[in-house]
Chain A
């Protein structure tokens, strides 16, 4: 379908100014921070003489005008060169790439769990609207929505690790076990159960509430009445006619929330000591590693923009009324 390609290209072009703004913005933030990269380096070395500091500044281009520095910064970012991490003694891009998979697993796990369970419970609540089931589900939804993820994480640790001893408290795998093959994946999955649950619960509550309202709304529409009149009932009506349409706002919300989920992974990865990008963000704040923080912001923004474009495509595919334009 060429129209899809044209649409895709247009969306990518639309994302360009946003990315540029983020790049300029992060440069300005670094400028606002007290001290520069050389100060940090010299501080790490425990001081150096003025001539050496001057030479370092020249080497890093910090003696140039702000505009020249901005231009150089943009060119570097566009090549995915986020500079050097003084904490990890590696290029920031290398550090990020070695940790990205953990965060991706966590995010995909949390969002899929939230989506599947939230949609199922929301539909159930709507089908039995105002019954006891609905009240229980809706009340739980309100509580989960107000529950801070870190509190939930600690409570789960207390129950499932400390009291019951079922699940590991921290890390992404057993360090000393040297599992390989499927055993390694089982091990990783065991380590991810609690983080995924803690991160997903609030989104589950969102999707549940939204799905409930959405199903109730769609069930009121004329085409559902027509379908009922023509004899479609029970499961077929629910899955084929109602849910397909009721899912649309949930998918929109899912796409919009990628960015919040990435933010939430900071707290969760820190609690469970998962070696992902979120935990990296936390240690970078503690150690004032601005290069790494800016790298994280840039990478996260790219992920969010890509996911948004993909959600739009899914949306258009689900709803043929929407023209790709």
Chain B
């Protein structure tokens, strides 16, 4: 309590500090941040802790965990080190999560902003397109895109982005529809500010908070989609991927369940960290919203 009282006497704290304080109050969100930091660290240090190609032969096939010092998580049926797969797989998962989320949020902002700002027939057309994308099951569309454009890392990332922009677009549109009627927008327009400038400089910053919170959901689903693709054997075979490890582990499920369980726990924790952080972000960015 006394700490908060002290804060009140201080000159206005910076916005980031205020947001961090609100975020920190949510203990689950802090746990999420810790898990996420661990995953990010694993991704960064993958080359240091387990140097070399994670897909190479590293020891006897199907070494159980905690038996050989060189492979603490054991090895799979092809003798690949599971720890190396987990660490290098963290890179792929995070990379795909971040890039696909950026792509989907960017498309969502563009479509939602234009539809919400201009309204009328532009809104009608863009919303029908959004509905069409929402109607097609996104995973089936993703499979189709992979069937057509191949399963390189690039086409998977773009594919995931292309199938997940509809929800952010609807959010941005709703925000724009209320914000465009506000006085500060009229004021900007009367000063002769152009449409593009009003959209991106005046309205967008005010419309962003819910979208940023939602980005954590998009990140989680992107990672899940990539791992499902890789599990089905449709991922990029040149990179270690958690989903692919589980898919391969399936063949030895009976005798070596650890090949499936260890990468499974990695996916679970990573996705969990994003949902936990999302709630904290919500507290930090939308403090007035009731829980």
Q: Which residues of A contact B (CB under 8 A)?
A: 17-18, 21-22, 25, 29, 32-34, 142-143, 145-151, 154-155, 157-158, 162, 213, 217, 256, 259-260, 262-264, 266-267, 270-271, 281-282, 284-285, 288, 290, 293-294, 296-297, 300-301, 304-305
Closest to A141 in B: B275
Q: Which of B253-274 contact A (CB under 8 A)?
A: 253-254, 257, 260-261, 264, 267-269, 271-272
CB atoms of A142 and B275 under 8 A apart:
yes
A147 partner residues in chain B, CB cutoff 8 A: 268
Q: Give the Cβ gap from A286 to chain B, nearest Cβ, in Å.
A: 8
Closest to B290 in A: A217
A266 partner residues in chain B, CB cutoff 8 A: 139-140, 143, 232
B135 partner residues in chain A, CB cutoff 8 A: 18, 22, 259, 301, 304-305
CB atoms of A282 and B143 under 8 A apart:
yes
- The segment from B100-108, B171-179, B220-228 found at the interface with A is B220-228
Q: Give the Cβ gap from A255 to chain B, nearest Cβ, in Å.
A: 11
Which of A29, A259, A271 sits near B137, CB closer than 8 Å? Answer: A259
- The segment from B13-21, B57-65, B66-74, B124-132 found at the interface with A is B124-132
A18 partner residues in chain B, CB cutoff 8 A: 128, 131-132, 135
CB atoms of A146 and B140 under 8 A apart:
no
Closest to B228 in A: A267
CB atoms of B137 and A158 under 8 A apart:
no
B249 partner residues in chain A, CB cutoff 8 A: 154
Instruction: Verify if B153 is at the interface (C-beta below 8 Å from A).
Output: no
CB atoms of B136 and A282 under 8 A apart:
no
How far is it, in angstroms, between the C-alpha of A282 and the C-alpha of B227 when the chains are bound?
Answer: 15
Q: Give the Cβ gap from B58 to chain A, nearest Cβ, in Å.
A: 24
Which of A148, A155, A290 sits near B267, CB closer than 8 Å? Answer: A148
Instruction: Verify if B276 is at the interface (C-beta below 8 Å from A).
Output: yes
CB atoms of A154 and B246 under 8 A apart:
yes
How far is it, in angstroms, between the C-alpha of A119 and the C-alpha of B170 when the chains are bound?
Answer: 26
Which of B140, B231, B234, B290 sits near A263, CB closer than 8 Å? Answer: B140
Instruction: Verify if B141 is at the interface (C-beta below 8 Å from A).
Output: yes
CB atoms of A146 and B250 under 8 A apart:
no
Nearest 6 A-B pairs (CB), nearest first? A263-B139, A263-B137, A146-B271, A146-B272, A151-B264, A21-B132
Chain B interface SS verdict (over half):
helix
How far is it, in angstroms, between the C-alpha of A21 and the C-alpha of B133 when the chains are bound?
Answer: 9
Which of B143, B257, B260 sits near A293, CB closer than 8 Å? Answer: B143
CB atoms of B128 and A151 under 8 A apart:
no
CB atoms of B147 and A284 under 8 A apart:
yes
A33 partner residues in chain B, CB cutoff 8 A: 147-148
CB atoms of B253 and A157 under 8 A apart:
yes
Q: Give the Cβ gap from A316 to chain B, nearest Cβ, in Å.
A: 19
Which of B128, B131, B268, B276 sits near A148, CB closer than 8 Å? Answer: B268
CB atoms of B140 and A151 under 8 A apart:
no
Q: Give the Cβ gap from B34 to chain A, nearest Cβ, in Å.
A: 15
Instruction: Verify if B146 is at the interface (C-beta below 8 Å from A).
Output: yes
CB atoms of A29 and B134 under 8 A apart:
no
Instruction: Verify if B26 is at the interface (C-beta below 8 Å from A).
Output: no
19 A-B residue contacts at CB 8 Å?
Answer: A22-B136, A146-B220, A148-B228, A148-B243, A148-B264, A148-B267, A149-B228, A154-B249, A154-B253, A213-B291, A259-B135, A262-B140, A264-B139, A266-B143, A282-B232, A285-B147, A290-B147, A296-B140, A301-B132
Q: Which of B131-167 contact A (CB under 8 A)?
A: 131-132, 134-141, 143-149
CB atoms of B143 and A288 under 8 A apart:
no
Which of A162, A267, A284, A300 sits near B136, CB closer than 8 Å? Answer: A300
B272 partner residues in chain A, CB cutoff 8 A: 142-143, 145-146
CB atoms of A293 and B147 under 8 A apart:
yes
CB atoms of A285 and B143 under 8 A apart:
yes
How far is it, in angstroms, between the C-alpha of A264 and the C-alpha of B224 when the chains are bound?
Answer: 11
Q: Give the Cβ gap from B129 to chain A, nearest Cβ, in Å.
A: 6
Q: Which of B159-199 contact A (CB under 8 A)?
A: none
CB atoms of B232 and A158 under 8 A apart:
no
CB atoms of A145 and B275 under 8 A apart:
yes
Q: Give the Cβ gap from B174 to chain A, nearest Cβ, in Å.
A: 15
How far is it, in angstroms, between the C-alpha of A150 and the C-alpha of B232 when the chains are bound?
Answer: 10
CB atoms of A150 and B228 under 8 A apart:
yes
